[in-house]
Structures are given as structure tokens and as C-alpha cells.
């Protein structure tokens, strides 16, 4: 048996050379064979076996003739299977039963083998952080190096990035190391050269998916080309897995109906927009809006930028679970009817009348004070992220729209007349339209109409604002325009009294206004004569006539008158 032969770290070809000497009575023997076993007495394994004197090769070398002499001879055989092993060789010669075996001597056993290239490759990887935000980014530094002793050509550096990352990388060598410079998008699978002491440094900038969750774990590896031994393979991979993903979504909400005031009985339309200006997606967020009791609402919703919500239409409050990806939004349109009994509704009627005999009428009373706006319509919408999502600016997670509730328009009118009131003379009507509500009056259609009676002839009409139209053919005056809250408009109508007119002439105009704030002039009222004590009565005047007094004669006068008439008649006959 040979001494211990340690071929660890060596590679093929492996050549065993030895000197042998044996003693036999003749050249007849069964076989010569060589076994090996792991150092320490493991089960032998046959390497070579030669049969008979011609030494026909068994599992080892080709035919070799060994003479029967007992002198020393040198032999060699190739044993590549021993590469890398710590082993012992066992030499045997067996004779047949008719031959006496004298002995076998083995000496000068030598092993020739190639030392395998050895290089301690290693790799490190870090992004320098312990947490990251979905929708943000991380930058990995990956360094592959060779601690020697031998250089490595054609090593492979690889890194398959997680699906949540979209990466672009560059590389630079140091100490003679070479790699693909980049930039390259996607995974790393680079063939590099690493001399002893050399390195290659990758910088991978990776965008994190806005929908990523959990923990980012990422492994990079380095591997030598075939035939190179790495004595410490445990440092050939590196994993960065301490990056906990913390979603961060800047949710915000806005709400407006586009007006500053509203009238009970009318409607408002709110636009409510919830959005995500953050880096991370915000699935499962909640948009809520509890409408005031004075509102009866129906809403619809549409998403933008990937946002999703309940499409509707839905009646009642909003309490919707929505998905808001980074940059996405959901837009609600809520159409709400305001209860007619909401604070600030129509209150009272300011028109009053006092009976007075013209001409001339007293000056009209001052306009009544406006009805107060006795309330507000306040409504708040909110948006909230689901659990586990951080909102860095929660102050914009609610929005409130406040409208002042106004009383609807309440238009009344007084009508007075001036003139000599003689047949054929001119008269003027003065109509003062007053809006005592807290909402302006201006809707499609005429706010005032006056048809003069037949014993008057229309001449013209004017107004302090708006448009007054005198239709001569129909004896009709109309007025269209705006009457602001607590304001008045004066309409003047000029006409003539027909020459044959007599008696009392009365007239009233009709006022049309929006008494319930629904945008339509559905309410009507007639003008009032402020000179009478009765409310809502027409304006009238009496047509004046001229009387010529006839003197009454006593009997003496009658006698004298008779003589005068008789003398006048006699004179006429004589002539």
C-alpha cells in the first residue's frame, strides 16, 4: 500500500508512476491489479487489472508485456479519477496454483497532476435602507470581487429582480475588473473578468411598483467559469431583504356646487373629487358624504387615471369603497333638491295699501326691509385610506361646501297715477316694483304686464332699469329685467284719456316672479294702489267734466225777456 496521497485542489490529467519488482518461479500468474481507497481504510476501488503474462489490460491501460524476470521495472498509468481525492494505492500480484509466488516490491510511487485554478469569488449587495415606499425607488450597489489567488476570466454576475421592481443598471470595474458598462434595463446577467484583487461594481436604480406590498427581497450571485475552484463558495451570493414596503398615499378631496348661495325649494349640484397624489396605490379607500337633512340627493361616480368607484345612480348619502391608484381619482356628481322648508325660505308679504283719493297721491312708502337669509347649507365630504397605508398630509382629507340659504324673490308693486284727469288730457302711471326677498328676481319671461283699459290710449313706457315695451296696438306694456334683493325698479306708463271718457277709470298691472326659487316665474301678484286702505286694489281716478252755470229769472226778468224777443222778431219782419 502506498503512502497517503492528497490530490485535493488538483485536476486531471493524473499520472501514477511506480517501480516494481516481483519474484515468481515462472511468468505464469493470474493477474496484477491496483486498487485505491480513501485515506483511512475505506472500501477499495479497482483502478487497473492486468491478466496473464502479457498483461492484457482490464479496466486500466492497454496491453503491456511483463517478462518473468525478477528485476526492477518502471510502470505508469493514468488515473484521472483520483483528482481532488485524498487516497491510498494498493498493489497486488496473484499467481496461479501451479506457480510459487516469491514476492512483490513497489517503490518510487509518484503522482503527477495539474493544480486546479483557485479563486475566492465573492459578492455583496445593499440598498442602504430598511424601508421603501411603493411607487418610490431604491438604488442597489452590487459588488463582485476576486480575493485570488488566480484570475478568473468569464465569470458570471446575475441578479433577477423581483416583479415589483423596474430596474436600470450600470457597471464599472476596479483593479482590472471588466464588465458591461450599460446602462442596461432589466435583470443583470453579465459575463465579467475578475483578476485577483479586482472587482466590478453595479449600480441598479429600481422603480418600485405603486401596488407593491410586503418586503423586497433580492439576491445577486457570482460564479466562476468551469474548471476554477472556489474555496469558499458560501460568499458567492448576497441577498438584500430588509426593505419593508410602507405604502404612502397622499389622498385629497374637493367639493363644490359652484355657487355661494341657494334658495330653499331649488336644487344644487355638487362635484366631489377624491384623488391620490401620493407615490403608492390606495386600494380599498373610503369616500363618504352624509348630506344634510334639508337635501334629497342622487349621485353618480366616474373614475379617472385608473380610479374605480360605484357608478350609480345611487340615492342618499355617499359611503363608497374606491380604488385610487397613484395619480388616479374618482369624481362624484350629486344632484340635490333643497327642501322648501329649509331655513331662509319665503317669509311674509311686504305689500301694503292705504286708500287715498287722487289727485295727487302721497309719496309711496319706503320699500320694506329684505327678508333675512336665516341659515346655511353646509356639507362635508371625506376620503380615508385603508389600514396600513400612510397619508403624509391628512389635512386635505375633507372638504366642506357652505352656501347661504336665501329667501326666494318676493316682488310686490305699487301703482299711482297723475294728471289733470280731463277728457283728452295726458296721464302718467308710476309703478314701483320692489323685491323684498333675499334672492334676486331674474328669470325667463316678463316680470310685469299692464293692459290699459279701453278709455285710455297708450303713448309710451320707460323703466329705471331693464326693458319696458309699449305695444300701442294692444294697449299693453311689459317689463323684463332683474330686481336685486332689497331693490326696486320704477316703470312709467304715459297715456291719454279718450275725449268721450267719463266716470271712474281703474287699472292694475300683473307681477310675475319666482316665489319658490325653482327658476320659473310661477307666482303672480297684482299692483296695489298705495292711496287706499285695501291691499291689492286697483288704481283709479275720476274723469273730470266742465259745467256752464245757467241763471234763473224772476217774473220781471221773464217779462222783459219776452218784450225783447218780440221786438227782435218785429224788427226782423220789417226788414
What was the pLDDT predicted at 46? 72
Q: What angle do CA 211, 216, 217 make, to 5 degrees?
A: 145
Cell of 1: 500500500
Place of cell 528485476: 71
The CA distance from 408 to 371, in Å, is 9
Q: In what order do the strands lie in the sheet with 45-51?
A: 5-6, 86-94, 31-38, 45-51, 56-57
The CA distance from 375 to 392, in Å, is 36
The CA distance from 100 to 152, in Å, is 57
Q: What is the DSSP letter of 532?
A: B
The CA distance from 210 to 279, in Å, is 6
411: which strand partners? 435
The CA distance from 534 to 525, in Å, is 15
300: which strand partners? 333
Helix (H/G/I), strand (E/B), else coil: 310: coil
The CA distance from 77 to 15, in Å, is 6
List all residues 6 or more positions away from 393 whose beta carbon is below 8 Å from its beta carbon.
250, 252
Residue 245 C-beta-side C-alpha neighbours within 13 Å: 23
Question: SS in 3 state form for 334-386?
Answer: EEEEECCCCCCCCCCCCCCCCECCCCCCCCCCCCCCCCCCCCEEEEEEEEECC
The CA distance from 336 to 317, in Å, is 11
Q: Is the CA virtual torsion 314, 320, 323, 325 positive or negative?
A: positive
Place of cell 359652484: 258
The CA distance from 176 to 62, in Å, is 48
E strand intervals along 502-569 = 504-507, 510-513, 523-526, 539-542
How many angstroms separate the Cα of 348 from the Cα of each of 344, 377, 484, 519, 520? 12, 22, 18, 20, 20
What was the pLDDT predicted at 548? 54
Strand-strand pairing, 86-94 and 318-324: unpaired
Residue 22 C-beta-side C-alpha neighbours within 13 Å: 24
The CA distance from 214 to 241, in Å, is 11
Backbone dihedral region for residue 466 (phi beyond 0: left; psi -120 to 50: alpha; all else: beta): left
List all residues 6 or more positions away from 384 whose beta carbon is below 8 Å from its beta carbon.
251, 285, 286, 288, 397
Residue 330, classified by CB atoms within 10 Å of its CB into exposed (0-12), middle (13-18) or buried (19+), is buried
Q: What are the structural domains, with CATH classification, of the chain?
A: 5-115 (2.60.120), 118-245 (2.60.40.1510), 251-344+377-405 (2.60.40.1510), 411-542 (2.60.40.740)
The CA distance from 281 to 307, in Å, is 10
Across the chain, which has 575 residues, the per-10-residue mean pLDDT values are 68 75 53 66 69 47 47 70 72 57 66 79 95 93 96 97 96 97 97 97 96 92 90 95 87 96 88 97 97 96 98 97 97 94 44 34 47 73 95 96 87 94 95 87 89 96 96 96 92 96 94 81 91 89 72 55 54 51
Place of cell 285695501: 534
Q: In what order do the strands lie in the sheet with 137-149?
A: 184-185, 165-174, 199-208, 137-149, 117-126, 228-229
Strand-strand pairing, 411-419 and 426-435: antiparallel
Nearest to 22 by CA among 63, 57, 70: 70
Q: What angle do CA 458, 462, 467 make, to 5 degrees?
A: 110
The CA distance from 471 to 460, in Å, is 8
What was the pLDDT predicted at 275? 98
Strand-strand pairing, 237-245 and 131-132: parallel
The CA distance from 431 to 448, in Å, is 10
- DSSP letters for 227-243: TEE-S-GGGSEEEEEEE
Q: Is the CA virtual torsion 339, 342, 348, 351 positive or negative?
A: negative
Amino acid at each position: 500500500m502506498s503512502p497517503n496521497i492528497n490530490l485535493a485542489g488538483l485536476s486531471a490529467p493524473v499520472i501514477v508512476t511506480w517501480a516494481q519488482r516481483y519474484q515468481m518461479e515462472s511468468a505464469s500468474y493470474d493477474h496484477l491489479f491496483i486498487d485505491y481507497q480513501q485515506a483511512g481504510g475505506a472500501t477499495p476501488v479497482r483502478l487497473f487489472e492486468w491478466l496473464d503474462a502479457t498483461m492484457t489490460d482490464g479496466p486500466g491501460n492497454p496491453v503491456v508485456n511483463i517478462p518473468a524476470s525478477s528485476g526492477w521495472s518502471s510502470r505508469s498509468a493514468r488515473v484521472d479519477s483520483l483528482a481532488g481525492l485524498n487516497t491510498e494505492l494498493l498493489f497486488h500480484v496473484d499467481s496461479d496454483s501451479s506457480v510459487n509466488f516469491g514476492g512483490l516490491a513497489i517503490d518510487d510511487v509518484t503522482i503527477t497532476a495539474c493544480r486546479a485554478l483557485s479563486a475566492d469569488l465573492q459578492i455583496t449587495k445593499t440598498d442602504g435602507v430598511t424601508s421603501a415606499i411603493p411607487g418610490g425607488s431604491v438604488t442597489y450597489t452590487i459588488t463582485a470581487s476576486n480575493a485570488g489567488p488566480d484570475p478568473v476570466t468569464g465569470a458570471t454576475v446575475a441578479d433577477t429582480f423581483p416583479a415589483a421592481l423596474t430596474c436600470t443598471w450600470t457597471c464599472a470595474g476596479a483593479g482590472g475588473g471588466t464588465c458591461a458598462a450599460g446602462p442596461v434595463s432589466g435583470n443583470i446577467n453579465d459575463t465579467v473578468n475578475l483578476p485577483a484583487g479586482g472587482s466590478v461594481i453595479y449600480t441598479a436604480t429600481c422603480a418600485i411598483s405603486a401596488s407593491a406590498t410586503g418586503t423586497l427581497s433580492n439576491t445577486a450571485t457570482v460564479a466562476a467559469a468551469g474548471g476554477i475552484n472556489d474555496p469558499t463558495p458560501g460568499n458567492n451570493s448576497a441577498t438584500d431583504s430588509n426593505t419593508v414596503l410602507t405604502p404612502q398615499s397622499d389622498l385629497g378631496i374637493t367639493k363644490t356646487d359652484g355657487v355661494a348661495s341657494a334658495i330653499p325649494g331649488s336644487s344644487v349640484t355638487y362635484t366631489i373629487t377624491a384623488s391620490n397624489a401620493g407615490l403608492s396605490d390606495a386600494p380599498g379607500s373610503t369616500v363618504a358624504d352624509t348630506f344634510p337633512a334639508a337635501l334629497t340627493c342622487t349621485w353618480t361616480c366616474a373614475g379617472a387615471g385608473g380610479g374605480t368607484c360605484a357608478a350609480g345612480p345611487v340615492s342618499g348619502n355617499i359611503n363608497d369603497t374606491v380604488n385610487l391608484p397613484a395619480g388616479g381619482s374618482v369624481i362624484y356628481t350629486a344632484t340635490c333638491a333643497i327642501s322648501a322648508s329649509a331655513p331662509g325660505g319665503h317669509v311674509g308679504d311686504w305689500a301694503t295699501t292705504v286708500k287715498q283719493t287722487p289727485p295727487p297721491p302721497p309719496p309711496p312708502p319706503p320699500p320694506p326691509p329684505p327678508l333675512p337669509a336665516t341659515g346655511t347649507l353646509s356639507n362635508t365630504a371625506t376620503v380615508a385610506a385603508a389600514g396600513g397605508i400612510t397619508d403624509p398630509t391628512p389635512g386635505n382629507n375633507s372638504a366642506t361646501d357652505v352656501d347661504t340659504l336665501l329667501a326666494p324673490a318676493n316682488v310686490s308693486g305699487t301703482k299711482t297715477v297723475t294728471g289733470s284727469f280731463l277728457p283728452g288730457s295726458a296721464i302718467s302711471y308710476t309703478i314701483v316694483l320692489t323685491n323684498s326677498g333675499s334672492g334676486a328676481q331674474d328669470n325667463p319671461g316678463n316680470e310685469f304686464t299692464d293692459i290699459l283699459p279701453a278709455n285710455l290710449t297708450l303713448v309710451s313706457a320707460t323703466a329705471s332699469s331693464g326693458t319696458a315695451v309699449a305695444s300701442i296696438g294692444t294697449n299693453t306694456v311689459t317689463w323684463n329685467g332683474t330686481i336685486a334683493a332689497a331693490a326696486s325698479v320704477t316703470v312709467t306708463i304715459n297715456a291719454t284719456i279718450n275725449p268721450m271718457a267719463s266716470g271712474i277709470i281703474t287699472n292694475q298691472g300683473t307681477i310675475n316672479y319666482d316665489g319658490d326659487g325653482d327658476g320659473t316665474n310661477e307666482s303672480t301678484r297684482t299692483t296695489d294702489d298705495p292711496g287706499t286702505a285695501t291691499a291689492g286694489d286697483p288704481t283709479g281716478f275720476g274723469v273730470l267734466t266742465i259745467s256752464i252755470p245757467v241763471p234763473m229769472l224772476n217774473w220781471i226778468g221773464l217779462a222783459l225777456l219776452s218784450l225783447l224777443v218780440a221786438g227782435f222778431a218785429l224788427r226782423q219782419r220789417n226788414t
